[in-house]
A and B are shown apart, each in its own frame.
Chain A
């Protein structure tokens, strides 16, 4: 049973456009919400994460926003580039353990030239 719901499953965006991925969680042990990026044939790698008491974090073209009351958080990729084509996973700590993450189902992003 997926405790973190991620949408959309896939999206296609033109180069220079904005990619938006949304996640909703049910319960979490701690307000820490990471996003992982995975290229084909590789393991996931941490892209960006937001920590407690912060509602938004920006790193370059990537921004996370967090709405605690709605239990939702999202990833925005500004000025999308073909090199951003990958699968993105959101995650949240499991209710029973800060050290265990529950992952969303993933979003495959394709950026067309």
Chain B
């Protein structure tokens, strides 16, 4: 049982490049989340998926797109990376039996030059 996994762990992009961050969970959870973490800002929600086939914008969705490929996988895409998107990105999932507890992945550290 790996929990929530994220790839890659580290990534460096140039301004304007695109990339997809991958997230998968093996806990049979319905809900999945993408957050970004910046110093002094806590965790800010980018996108949320309550179940397979549904997505919802969070606090900071601009510049990002998501895909809930199936129940296990939730990807985050940066179409044209900007330096302001330099951050640590966390994926999380939540199941019906865990009383609103979110389980986080190890994070992806992204630098945009």
Contact = CB atoms under 8 A, between A and B. Distances in A.
Interface of B: 4, 31, 33, 40-45, 48, 50, 58, 90, 92, 94, 99-107
Interface of A: 2, 4, 6, 9, 32, 34, 36, 41-46, 49, 51, 89, 93, 97-106
B31 A99 contact: yes
Given A36-B104, A42-B107, A99-B100, 11 more contacts: A9-B40, A32-B99, A43-B90, A43-B104, A44-B90, A44-B104, A46-B101, A46-B102, A93-B100, A105-B41, A106-B42
Contacts, number: 58
Interface of B is mostly: strand
B42 A6 contact: yes
A4 B106 CA distance: 24
Nearest to A1: B59
A105 B99 CA distance: 23
Given A43-B107, A99-B48, A34 B101 contact: yes
Query: Mostly helix, strand, loop or mixed at chain A's interface?
Result: strand
A41 B67 CA distance: 26
A32 B102 CA distance: 13
Nearest to A98: B100
A34 B43 CA distance: 14
